[in-house]
Amino acid sequence: MEFTVKSYRFNPEIDEKPYYKEYVLNDFPGMTVLNALMKVKAELDGTLSFRRSCRSAICGSCAMKINGITKLACKTQISSEIEKFGIIKVDPLGNMPIIKDLIVDQEAFFDKIKEIKPYLLGKKDYIEDDFKALKDGEKIKQPVYYKTEFQTLTGNNDTPNCILCECCYSECGGVVANPKYLGPAALAKLYRYSEDPRDNDKNGSRLVNGSKPAGMFDCVLCQACEEFCPKGISPVKTIVKMHEKAIKNSITFSKGAKHIIGIARSIQETGRLDEIKVAVDSVGISGILNDLPVAIGAGLKGKMPPLRLKLIKDMEDIRVAFKDLNLEEKHD
Amino acid sequence: MINYAYYPGCVAKESGKELDNSTRFIAEKLGINLVDMPEASCCGGGVIDGFDHNLKLYINGRTLALAEKLGYDILTICNTCTLTLSEVNEELINNPEALKKTNDYLSKIGLKYSGKVKVKHLLYIVRDEIGLDKLKNAVTYSLDGVKVAPFYGCHILRPSSVVKFDDVENPSGFEELIKALGGEPVSYVRRTKCCGFQTILVNEVTSTSLAGNAIYEAQQNKADVMVTPCPLCHLSLDTYQGVAAMNINKELSLPILHLPQLIGVALGGSYAEMGFSRHNISFRAVMSKIKQNKLK
Ligand code: SF4
Ligand code: SF4
Ligand code: FES
């Protein structure tokens, strides 16, 4: 079968702007996108630049956008792409600056991995907890879930299997929203270490640092990391587990934690999501004032939610759930 | 008439009432009987398992049990409600421990869940249960000449291990529906990306760039209107459109419709019936164009 590879091309040293170049190839059984690119480079155009090494979905080098979705080129079959899209359109990874053609600058990604301290903390080097969420000597409460339960919950327990391929990072909505956001791979690692009983994290500093701005509460929950990880890891599920663990350990200084608690309390009180209460709980009155132009714009259109919400029918049922789980608001 | 246990979610009952109203409008025209569940609670807005995973199971298990008691599948009109209810349903069906725990709670409030309910979004109920031919036949004002940008958002597609309505890499349900209404679907990359809603309160400014980028791309591709199956996306795309424009430093002015509003217009709904005056960006110009396409 004859097919076309349409590749993003850009060499900042000579090109004024990026362009696409097309190459026509013939496939062979089992041909991958990486096979195709290597064929282009060997036979048609030696200037096409891309990263690759293992050719067997292990090293994580060959991630790129294939027909709009970030995948490993060496793990992606030509036949299935052609069947679905009729072409092989390749672009460099998203959320990263482009160096040349399909090669991106990965520095920010690896800085973020380093930032979460991806190693077991020893006796001496526990992370400074500048928020002092826990008192001296106080220990973080252990996982709300046992490992096996987490395994059934996510279908995997494989965060250590991450190959740092950046597929998740390239698709991550959180990084688009906030380029400083740590991103899925780093946060999945943070989870992996925060759950490790050998880790000498004396004062919950991993969760505290992870709760800072641009940390785990900047996830927009778009689910792209779980969907597109070639190793079956679900960074978003680990992020949500950390949300739960942080809140259960009273590490609630972040707007994101306050937002989640606000929603839970609104449900506890009315059975519904009270948009105003949640906004006030998450960002405070000053935050609301910042948002006033939006609020007024919406208000004029009759969009403001009602100030007092009616309770749902059989509201008592919901209170029973909170009570059963010992989740009622404690005023201390 | 097909019966569904109707789960509009919170936004459609509060700031997004026009979504609830337009859903009821098209349901009647298409022979869908929406059975209300006044006892149903909020699903937890997509974040409740960050508070307590069991709470997510209990309150949504309760909603599923209410529908099971009625004997109907659930019809949703919000992406996040769809995903949350589907996730809980999957877990209760596949994890006996979770089901037992949840049923222990449900027994205290006189309910029981056995896993019989399916959770379906309106978009795919119209495509799969009503059928696009029937929809086509019901059209009284064709969307002929109107370029419609479908904005799927996240939770109606991802994770595809849980929400299995469409092809997550290249979905087509929305486009097929737009064509059935006589409109022309606009193809653009960000149709399946995130709207940024979940962090609008956390990162007021930057998170609107997600919505802004999508609107800008649709505009560049000559869209007259954008349509979304999710009221949370609608808040990002319409209510925050001005903030998004400032944020990405581009001029944005694209009317954003809820899915049933688009269908409603094609089925003869008026500007007032569809509640368009509740939106930030006016739909008037496009609406008058559609009103010239009267079929019957
Ligand atoms: S779910 Fe969160 S971490 Fe995963 S891709 Fe989306 S924003 Fe990024
Ligand atoms: S989590 Fe998955 S997608 Fe992300 S870097 Fe690791 S292996 Fe790649
Ligand atoms: S070349 Fe190593 S993962 Fe593809």
* pLDDT tens digits along B246-268: 999 999 999 999 999 999 999 99
In the predicted model, residues of chain B with pLDDT beneath 70 are: 205
> Ligand 3 centre and the CA of A301: distance in Å?
52
- Give the closest residue to A52 by CA, choosing from A37, A62, A42: A62
User: If pLDDT is split at 50, 70 and 90, which confidence band does A315 have?
Assistant: very high
Q: What is the pLDDT of residue A122?
A: 75
* pLDDT tens digits along A159-171: 878 999 999 999 9
CATH fold, domain A2-104, is: Ubiquitin-like (UB roll) (3.10.20)
Q: Ligand 3 atom closest to Cα of A52?
A: 1
* pLDDT tens digits along B145-157: 999 999 999 999 9
Interface contact A177-B210, CB threshold 8 A: yes
> Ligand 1 centre and the CA of A280: distance in Å?
25
CA distance A38 to A58: 18
Q: CA of B102: which chain A residue's CA is closest?
A: A321
* Residue in A152, A174, A297 nearest the CB of B280: A297
Q: Is the CB of A230 under 6 A from ligand 3?
A: no
Q: Is the CB of A63 under 6 A from ligand 3?
A: no
Residue limits of CATH 1.10.1060.10 in chain A: 107-125+141-248
Q: Is the pLDDT of residue A291 over 70?
A: no
Interface contact B199-A312, CB threshold 8 A: no
Identify from B198, B204, B281 which residue to disrupt to test chain A contact, counting A C-beta atoms within 10 A and taking the largest count. Answer: B198
- Chain B, 134-153: which have a CB under 8 Å from a chain A CB? none
Domains of chain B: 2-121 (1.20.1050.140), 131-290 (3.40.50.11810)
Q: Does B282 touch chain A (CB under 8 A)?
A: no
Q: Does B103 touch chain A (CB under 8 A)?
A: no
Shortest Cα–Cα distance, B207 to chain A (Å): 4
Interface contact B154-A317, CB threshold 8 A: no
- CB-CB neighbours of A243 under 10 Å: 26
Shortest Cα–Cα distance, A48 to chain B (Å): 24
What dotted CATH number matches A107-125+141-248? Answer: 1.10.1060.10
pTM to 2 decimals? 0.93
Residue limits of CATH 3.10.20.30 in chain A: 2-104
What ipTM was assigned to the predicted interfaces of this complex? Answer: 0.95
Q: What is the pLDDT of residue A332?
A: 45
